[in-house]
Amino acid sequence: MKAPAIFIANPVAKGASERKIQKAITLLRLAGHEVSVYLTEKKGDAEDFAKNASKISESFIIAAGGDGTFNEVMNGIANTDTKMAILPMGTTNVLAKELGIPEDVRGAINRALTGNVHSVSLGCIAFVRHASRVTRYFCLMAGIGFDGEAVYGVDESLKRCSGKGAYILSGLKTLMKYSPEELTFIVNRNTYTGYSAIIGKASKYGGHFKITPDANLRDPHLSLFIMHGKRRRDILRYVYGIFMASHLTFRDITYLKADSIRVEGNARIQIDGDYLGTTPATITVVPHALRLVY
């Protein structure tokens, strides 16, 4: 028998179904793996399952769900020897697009079984919530300001039904009432001000868009995109620029590489597509934090 496979799935992910989950489990067993199956019921379950799985010698995890599920699993096994592969079944499947993972069950499981193990770096964000210090890892991006506010406003029940439509609707609602406070970014001992930012650990955002095009999971750096405009028409212009891949030519943005970022001020934060909390926050990068199969 080959190494035990720990299959952690979110059965209510946008692209999930009992048929897909059973097909994935069957393919793993046909390949000679003993499979332990864990289905999440609430937020935090995937992370707890992953932490427990990391204690099983020689096991590897297949995380099935969306980017939020993948984020929970990686937070459960970061800085351990446990390998992680993914089966994309979420709303946008940004990590799968970043890694070139097929979005069909057979293709994704085949990649999980035959792909190479890569040591990747993760972003690490620390902030205070309810008087306690919280530290979380992310692999795709952290969004601060408008981006965090829009994710905060997403209706989860609508998200399960309409997928990307829930994000678009929340973005429009956020735009109508958006009145941001100025933020201060302390980066590599230099200080910048702005109203929103995307901190990329991967190049893709929201699908195939590239806000931080030179970001790379294997690169031990962060890519920081700061938006200095605060008006609604500035946000619309940034969005249009991102659609047209011309946003990095704008005069009212700052784009740079960073090892550490301190954000001062009051704004909402999202990581890997899920709401997290509010600034102030410190973002660093942790090299070789995750063993990822792709």
Compute the Cα dihedral for 85, 88, 94, 99 and give only its sign: positive
Number of domains in the chain: 2
Tell me, yes or no, whether 90 and 235 share the same domain. Answer: no
| Domain finish residue from 115, 130, 156 | 115
Tell me, yes or no, whether 257 and 276 share the same domain. Answer: yes
Question: What integer pLDDT is reported at residue 228 of this predicted model?
Answer: 98
Considering the domain boundaries, does residue 53 fall inside one?
yes
Q: In CATH, what number is assigned to the domain containing residue 63?
A: 3.40.50.10330
| Domain finish residue from 98, 115, 132 | 115
Considering the domain boundaries, does residue 234 fall inside one?
yes
How many helices (DSSP H) and strands (DSSP E) are in the chain?
9, 16
Tell me, yes or no, whether 90 and 51 share the same domain. Answer: yes
Q: Are 225 and 255 in contact (CB under 8 A)?
A: yes
Considering the domain boundaries, does residue 292 fall inside one?
no
Question: What integer pLDDT is reported at residue 1 of this predicted model?
Answer: 60
User: Token pair for residue 276?
Assistant: 């997290």
Q: Are 134 and 127 in contact (CB under 8 A)?
A: yes
Question: What integer pLDDT is reported at residue 166 of this predicted model?
Answer: 84
Considering the domain boundaries, does residue 293 fall inside one?
no
Strands (E), 40-169: 60-65, 83-88, 117-129, 132-138, 141-144
pLDDT by residue (tens digit) across 135-158? 999 999 999 999 999 999 988 877
**Phi, psi dihedrals of residue 180, rounded to the nearest 5°:** -75, 155
Considering the domain boundaries, does residue 294 fall inside one?
no
| Domain finish residue from 94, 115, 136 | 115
Q: Going residue by residue through the chain (294 aa), what tens digit of pLDDT does each one get?
A: 688 999 999 999 888 899 999 999 999 999 999 999 999 999 999 999 999 999 988 889 999 999 999 999 999 999 999 999 999 999 899 999 999 999 999 999 999 999 999 999 999 999 999 899 999 999 999 999 999 999 999 888 777 777 788 888 899 999 999 999 999 999 988 999 999 999 999 999 999 999 999 999 999 999 999 999 999 999 999 999 999 999 999 999 999 999 999 999 999 999 999 999 999 999 999 999 999 999
Burial class (CB in 10 A: 0-12, 13-18, 19+), 261: buried
Tell me, yes or no, whether 153 and 73 share the same domain. Answer: no
What is the C-alpha separation between 83 and 31, in angstroms, rounded? Answer: 17
Domain containing 60 equals 2-115
**Phi, psi dihedrals of residue 287, rounded to the nearest 5°:** -65, 150
Q: In CATH, what number is assigned to the domain containing residue 179?
A: 2.60.200.40
pLDDT by residue (tens digit) across 73-90? 999 999 999 999 999 999
End-to-end CA, the chain: 22
Tell me, yes or no, whether 136 and 241 share the same domain. Answer: yes
Tell me, yes or no, whether 137 and 104 share the same domain. Answer: no
DSSP secondary structure letter of residue 249: G
131 phi-psi bin (left φ>0, alpha ψ -120 to 50, beta other): left
